[in-house]
Chain A
Amino acid sequence: MNQLQDTQNFLLNLLEKIFGLETIYITDNQGVVLDQISKTQNIQKKEFIFGPLFANLSNQTSKLGFGENQSITTFYKEKIMVQIQLNSIILSLIGDLDLNVGLIDSYIPTFTQAFQHLIETVGEIEKNKKEINL
């Protein structure tokens, strides 16, 4: 429970620290939502369509010839979304046009450290799933 609370606190901290940031989702590689937090919207529904979307596109981007996909940033006319692959989890950050993408990029090692327990847990579950299927 402490680790869940730590994750929530970290996400809350991010929302406050990064100017322009509005919503954060953490999903696994199948797009299942593990945690979320939002400044502007009351996220009642659990479905986040960009989670599985990124997971599917990551396979395609790996075929570009530039190695594994690390992140995809989509600049819309009114929003910016940064989606980052952190081993077995995907971190999606959505904000307005003031969102500092460079700052988010520089925080990637920090994110990996902060979510290490979640990455390991999800990684273990995925590994067990594969073993069961075999």
Chain B
Amino acid sequence: MLKPKLLTKTLQQTNTDGINGTMLFNSDGSLIASSGDRDKNRTIAAITANIWQTYQKKSNDPLINSDLNVVMINCKEGKVIIKEVCKMFLCVHSGNDVPTGILKEKLISLAKFLEPSLSKIVI
């Protein structure tokens, strides 16, 4: 069983050094847990789920021909990065001042940490 409060607390720990929000959501973009501005996270989850699915569907193009691992979106005023973990999606967003490498490493570390627990959930 997922412990929602504990999960939210864990996600909150990522929100340091310029990271504004961390969330876990389903492939349809519906939030499972999040920390930060909930309304903003809800919008980000919905849009990024679609972006992920769009790139994943085309991953068998001969130029790529491999599965998607991480998507990183760089906008004028912020960054969003998404990774799949156990058929769910982990996402972190920040302002533009956070180095992309740190954002990616934090996301991957969080995914590794959550994977053993999330793998026990059947979706």
A63 touches B43 (CB 8 A): yes
Residues of B contacting A69 with CB < 8 Å?
73-75
The residue on B at minimum CB distance from A23 is B63
Q: With an 8 A cutoff between CB atoms, is B18 at the interface? A: no
A61 touches B47 (CB 8 A): yes
Interface range on chain B (Cβ under 8 Å from partner): 20 to 34
B72 touches A75 (CB 8 A): yes
Counting residue pairs across A and B whose Cβ atoms lie within 8 Å, the total is 102
Chain A: residues with Cβ within 8 Å of the partner, total of 33
A70 touches B80 (CB 8 A): no
Interface string of A55-66 (1 = CB under 8 A from B): 011001111111
Q: Name A's B-contacting residues (CB within 8 A).
A: 23, 41, 48-50, 53, 56-57, 60-79, 81, 94, 101-102, 105
In the assembled complex, 21 residue pairs joining A and B whose CB atoms fall closer than 8 Å, in A order, are A50-B63, A64-B44, A64-B78, A66-B79, A66-B93, A67-B76, A67-B78, A69-B75, A71-B73, A71-B74, A73-B71, A73-B74, A74-B55, A75-B69, A76-B59, A76-B66, A77-B66, A77-B67, A77-B69, A94-B63, A101-B100
